Amino acid sequence: MGNRVIETFYNPRRIQKRLGYLSPIEYEEKHYAIQAATEQVNLKPRQTALTS
């Protein structure tokens, strides 16, 4: 019975307005995808400035 109460109160699939109308699962997946893409951009080697 305890699990049923938690599932009713906190539904990880229910769309949430404060999460941009995504479910908590979708919001978390989007967050980590953006974070991974940002890390890949930051790992690209910088071009050194040419000096004469």
> Rounded CA gap, 4 and 20, in Å?
26
pTM reported for the whole predicted model? 0.56
Residues 27 and 12 sit within 8 Å (Cβ to Cβ)? no
Residue 52 has pLDDT above 60, yes or no: no
The 10s digit of each residue's pLDDT in 3-49 is 666 666 677 778 888 889 888 889 999 999 999 888 777 766 666 66
Choose among 1, 26, 29: nearest CA to 13: 26
The confidence score (pLDDT) of residue 9 equals 66
Q: Where are the domains of the chain?
A: 2-35
Q: How far apart are CA 17 and CA 23, in angstroms?
A: 9
